[in-house]
Chains A and B, each alone.
Chain A
Amino acid sequence: QITLKESGPTLVKPTQTLTLTCTFSGFSLTTSGVGVGWIRQPPGKALEWFALIYWDDDERYSPSLKSRLTITKDTSKNQVVLTMTNMDPVDTGTYYCIHTQEFYPFDAWGPGTLVTVSS
């Protein structure tokens, strides 16, 4: 059974850097084709995919956020870490960690973590 869980700060100030960790179980990020990524959802709004890392270190980013993002993996800890720089109030929302495989959609989700950007 695949499980994922997000952790990180619930409140960040504008201009600060957000660091979120996804800790997962039930699969390995060394298995061919496997990927772990991030999706966010502002309150009352739609879902937005923005970052993903594959088993072979292939990194994918949303073009609109790419300059602010870094995604890394630690296979020994079963973790994926996301950093997003220069946070703004419009970045407020629930951030989800997801599992995927090449040529497949997002088939497992963490419960999400609400991040508020406010001074």
Chain B
Amino acid sequence: EIVMTQSPATLSLSPGEGATLSCRASQSVSSNLAWYQQKPGQAPRLLIYGASTRATGFPARFSGSGSGTEFTLTISSLQSEDFAVYYCQQYNKWPRTFGQGTKVEIK
């Protein structure tokens, strides 16, 4: 099973600041890496797939990068609606696995 490790667990930032979230895979997942955004009481939403392709409905301030085992989600300037928990997930091999999440909270 591929283990996904996210860091940091919590990111405390102010609106307007930039955020950098990291995700590491225990073995290569090529570019088969997705990011999801989850707000309290809601289902997760697909945010990024193919490591760097934004899903429908998300603005350009969200960007993803990386391949192999190291991945990054960058939010260029945090808006109030961006404070949420973000999960990475690999879909290169079975079983599909998620990281433990990074909470982006208001400082």
Residue B43 CB within 8 A of the other chain: yes
Contact, CB under 8 Å: A103 / B91? yes
Residue A16 CB within 8 A of the other chain: no
Question: Nearest B residue to A102 by beta-carbon distance?
Answer: B91
Contact, CB under 8 Å: B46 / A107? yes
When the two chains form the complex, which single residue of A47, A108, A110, A111 contacts B98, counting CB atoms closer than 8 Å?
Answer: A47
Give the size range of B's interface with the partner.
Answer: 20 to 34
Q: Which residues of A contact B99 (CB under 8 A)?
A: 46
Residue B68 CB within 8 A of the other chain: no
Q: Which residues of A contact B95 (CB under 8 A)?
A: 49-50, 60-63
Give the residues from 73 to 107 in chain B that come closer than 8 angstroms, CB to CB, to chain A.
87, 89, 91, 94-101
Binary per-residue interface labels of chain B (16-58) against chain A in the complex, 1 for a CB within 8 Å, 0 otherwise: 0000000000000000101010000011111001000001000
Question: Nearest A residue to B38 by beta-carbon distance?
Answer: A47
With A110-B43, A111-B43 already in contact, the answer to whether A46 and B100 are too (CB < 8 A) is: yes
Other 18 A-B pairs with CB < 8 A, given A106-B34, A106-B44: A47-B87, A48-B98, A49-B89, A49-B95, A61-B95, A63-B1, A63-B95, A103-B91, A104-B49, A104-B91, A105-B89, A107-B46, A107-B49, A108-B46, A109-B43, A110-B43, A111-B43, A112-B43
A/B interface sample: 21 pairs, CB < 8 A: A46-B87, A46-B99, A46-B100, A46-B101, A47-B36, A47-B44, A48-B98, A49-B97, A49-B98, A60-B94, A60-B95, A61-B95, A96-B43, A103-B32, A104-B49, A105-B89, A105-B91, A106-B44, A108-B46, A109-B43, A111-B42
In the complex, the 5 A-B pairs of residues with the closest C-beta atoms, listed nearest first: A105-B34, A109-B43, A49-B96, A47-B98, A46-B100
